Amino acid sequence: MCGIIGIVANGPVNQMLFDGLTLLQHRGQDAAGILTCESDRLFLRKENGLVKDVFHTRHMRQLHGHMGIGHVRYPTAGCDSSAEAQPFYVNAPFGIALGHNGNLTNVDELRASVQKTDHRHINTNSDSEVLLNVFAHELSAVAGDEPKVEDVFSAISGVHRRAKGAYAVIGLIAGRGIFAFRDPWGIRPVCYGQRKHESGKTEYMIASESVAIEASDFELVRDLAPGEAIFISPEGEVSFKQCAEHSQYTPCIFEFVYLARPDSIIDDVSVYRARMRMGEKLAAKILREWPDHDIDVVIPIPDTSRTAALEIAFNLNLKYREGFVKNRYIARTFIMPGQEMRKRSVRQKLNAIDLEFRGKNVLLVDDSIVRGTTSSEIIRMAREAGANKVYLASAAPPVRYPNVYGIDMPTANEFVAHDRDVEQIRAAIGADYLIYQDLDDLIESVRAGNPSLKSFDCSCFTGDYITGDIDQNYLDLLSSRRSDHSKNPTSQKSRDIVAVGLYNVQ
């Protein structure tokens, strides 16, 4: 749950990177970083916080150069120290910086190999730093005094051979250019766009989602294919290569359910249209399984569920109403570390409009139900606002299994659907009726936008991990490292001590 961006332009890129990261802020609210390059000098600013809080005017003025990369982070691996904000940097070979969205499932094995075999030092707990050092070692093994594009692609092939899991990567080699690549399964998204500068030179942007490209006045060209890499020189020369020996399109379906912005297009699928179809499918299930329902009004739990809720109301011929007012200055509760913080933030984030609930049977619609904290609090709020009955519909199936590919769903024990059937879940969250989307309908809702997508990563619903390297021992280890208990602030080291790295613009 991170966002990456890279730009090669005909003028300063600092403001464009800032704007692009702001458009990707929904993907990570823990930390932000920008690294730029002028000639062969690198300039870095990264820190904990939102984009608007990390970068002030004094920082922006020091981020010189016509190419650069940026990152917004939520810590699914490592800890929340500012030392683990990205991009990361190594000085050899050539000076390389890298940012990463995803999660390496063999990070312990890789870390040992990097330190003992490659003789490189790892200074944080972040799998992104490990990934950077793997790439740096592979590049040093094939490049001479001056790295060629073929050398960069060869190094990326080496990364694919060694790394397992999900990763969308943006990187920069000082003075030589920007590169990006996607894991062989295409689990995490990355795309690129271009635009003509008034000088006639073409400028390029790479980003996690198309919204950052199109809202920055670039034209979306396409997504990178699974295993594919792109390299853009400072002069705007673009090269592509398939760097994985075996690749298969299996994008993460939860991007379409929750993570991505509705105005993004991922792998040629409109997220907005996919969510519309989720609403249509769920309405059909309600009519099929509950034809004599007594719903008076459909109310979305903002913001992600609005599109599906509108289609449910339309297809059921019911009123659609906005029953909750959202405080825009509270972070997304799903990605907040710690159950108590999420619980407190629900009431800070949402306030009910009593007149939309009083005396009515309301159908609340959410994009998904993970831990159940938000759902139970909102159901309680609806009752306090005077609702007669409170029903809940989820646009996604029950989340029963950990996600190991970069989404913070670390341990099954924290899921409300763990070891419960639908009736037990309904009782646990306090709803009068509960209905979930069927997995086949969810898949079809997304695939309808791009029929060439044959399969998806649905592991959080099915427990089927497509990379084939996940067993119970790994899940137990992940749970111990990333559960809510492990994120207790009292267990964290001081954030005042910063790890050694590239000089940070102050």
Closest CA to 367 of 319, 301, 429, 420: 301
**Cα 409 to chain centroid, rounded:** 12
Tell me, yes or no, if 79 is annotated catalytic: no
Closest CA to 466 of 111, 260, 128, 183: 183
Residue 146 burial class via C-beta count within 10 angstroms: exposed 0-12, middle 13-18, buried 19 and up: exposed
Unique residue bearing structure tokens 């995803």: 102
* Alpha-helical segments (H) within 93-220: 107-116, 127-142, 149-162, 210-214
Phi-psi region of 265 (alpha: psi -120 to 50; beta: other; left: phi over 0): beta
Separation of alpha carbons 269 and 222, rounded Å = 11
CB within 8 A of 352, min separation 6: which ones?
323, 324, 381, 382, 384, 385
Separation of alpha carbons 420 and 416, rounded Å = 8
Unique residue bearing structure tokens 């609090």: 377
DSSP 151: H
Please identify every residue annotated as catalytic: 2
